């Protein structure tokens, strides 16, 4: 089977969630991803992936280590090589890898790659076709350029955090989905694909500056357009899509669980009212104030008469926009999730059968594939060096000197 990105070589210098998620997306679709990692113990600290600890063992390490690697979806379909880029010898190796690479991905603070001499200017002089993607919180320029941060900070600046929650409550932190994964990793993968296509037409590589804060704000393009047009300031629970109306809301059910209703269109709202036995409310979908509060109260009372799953079974058959609000452990047994192969089972040679999240991009003729489990730190260092022409004695000397 031909994978769509087969033959694309990516050097991944990233550490935290956005970069690894980006290269996971590309690796699932066939890209050859080589992680360039810091030799363990070199700096006296290791960073952890925000979705689990990056394994620091080698082949033959403990069962716990084997298990953490087997279940690590973010690092699947990749190889790992250790290089101490603070040494000239390691940089020479990286430059040789750059000669045949298509993409470099990095997620350091602005200025770090320049100090390490693995920045775009340096690498593009070696390979003019290189596509170099930097992922950072605020971008490579501007007054916040050098600020440290994490997802919660970026969604704060972009305005997303202030919109999440109920009126009068403190903002609710939505895990690290918006900035790290959507605003960062997914935007970076999109930018890389566009740059690869542009290179097909121009023959030239380019530099990609991905700021997670930019990405989060871009995800709210519709809200921003509405604000620019009307001057209305969206806030927690005061828009149609954040809980201000009874027909697009969340309701508690008989079993103390929740059901989500999204009856935006008039015909869906009418269907909802009929199945709830309140056809008299159909003319009042766009009511506000006291009438809207009354309708919400009626809906709350009715939804408490059945369990979540009873309501879902009933409403899904009557052309009503509905969804059960799952606890996370319920998601992976949902029949739609299973049918769409968003939970996959893989056979690990040591751990046995493991589950991972599936591939979300469904291509009919060139689908993605999970080909390899996450690598151990430095698992492929020797293999890569041998392919570059280094002999075992040179490799041993480099290991002794802390180059690898």
> Catalytic site residues?
150, 180
Residue with tokens 């990516």: 10
Report d(CA 382, CA 394) in Å as an integer. Answer: 10
Kindly tell me the sign of the dihedral angle through the C-alpha atoms of 88, 90, 92, 94.
negative
Residue among 178, 249, 251 nearest 218 (CA): 178
Report d(CA 193, CA 214) in Å as an integer. Answer: 18
Residue with tokens 């009919």: 364
Contact 357, 343 (CB under 8 A): yes
Give strand pairing partners of 10: 33, 103
Count CA atoms closer than 13 A to 18's CA, side-chain side.
30
Kindly tell me the sign of the dihedral angle through the C-alpha atoms of 28, 34, 36, 37.
positive
- Give me the sheet containing 258-262, strands edge to edge: 248-252, 258-262, 322-325
């Amino acid at each position: 089977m031909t994978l769509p990105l087969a033959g694309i070589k990516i050097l991944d210098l990233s550490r935290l969630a956005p970069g690894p998620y980006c290269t996971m997306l590309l690796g699932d679709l066939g890209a050859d991803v080589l992680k360039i990692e810091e030799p363990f113990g070199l700096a006296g600290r290791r960073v952890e992936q925000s979705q689990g600890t990056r394994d620091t063992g080698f082949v033959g390490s403990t069962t716990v280590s084997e298990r953490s690697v087997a279940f690590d979806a973010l690092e699947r379909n990749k190889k790992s090589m250790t290089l101490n880029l603070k040494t000239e010898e390691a940089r020479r190796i990286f430059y040789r890898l750059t000669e045949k690479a298509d993409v470099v991905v990095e997620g350091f603070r602005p200025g770090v790659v320049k100090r390490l001499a693995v920045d775009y200017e340096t690498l593009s002089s070696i390979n003019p076709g290189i596509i170099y993607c930097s992922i950072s919180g605020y971008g490579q320029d501007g007054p916040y350029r050098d600020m440290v941060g994490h997802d919660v900070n970026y969604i704060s600046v972009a305005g997303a955090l202030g919109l999440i929650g109920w009126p009068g409550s403190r903002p609710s932190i939505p895990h690290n989905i918006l900035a790290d994964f959507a605003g960062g990793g997914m935007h970076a993968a999109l930018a890389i694909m566009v740059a690869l296509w542009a290179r097909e037409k121009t023959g030239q590589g380019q530099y990609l500056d991905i700021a997670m804060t930019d990405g989060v704000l871009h995800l709210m393009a519709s809200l921003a357009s509405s604000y620019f047009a009307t001057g209305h300031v969206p806030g927690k629970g005061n828009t149609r899509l954040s809980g201000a109306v009874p027909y697009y809301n969340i309701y508690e059910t008989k079993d103390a669980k929740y059901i989500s209703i999204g009856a935006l269109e008039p015909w869906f709202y009418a269907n909802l009212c009929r199945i709830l036995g309140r056809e008299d409310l159909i003319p009042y979908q766009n009511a506000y104030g006291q009438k809207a509060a009354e309708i919400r109260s009626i809906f709350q009372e009715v939804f408490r008469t059945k369990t979540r799953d009873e309501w879902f079974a009933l409403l899904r058959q009557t052309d009503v926009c509905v969804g059960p609000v799952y606890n996370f452990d319920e998601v992976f047994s949902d029949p739609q999730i299973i049918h769409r192969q968003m939970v996959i089972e893989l056979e690990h040679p040591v751990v046995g059968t493991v589950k991972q999240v599936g591939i979300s991009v469904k291509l009919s003729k060139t689908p993605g594939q999970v080909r390899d489990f996450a690598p151990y730190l430095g698992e492929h260092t020797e293999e890569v060096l041998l392919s570059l022409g280094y002999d075992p004695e040179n490799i041993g000397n480099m290991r002794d000197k802390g180059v690898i």
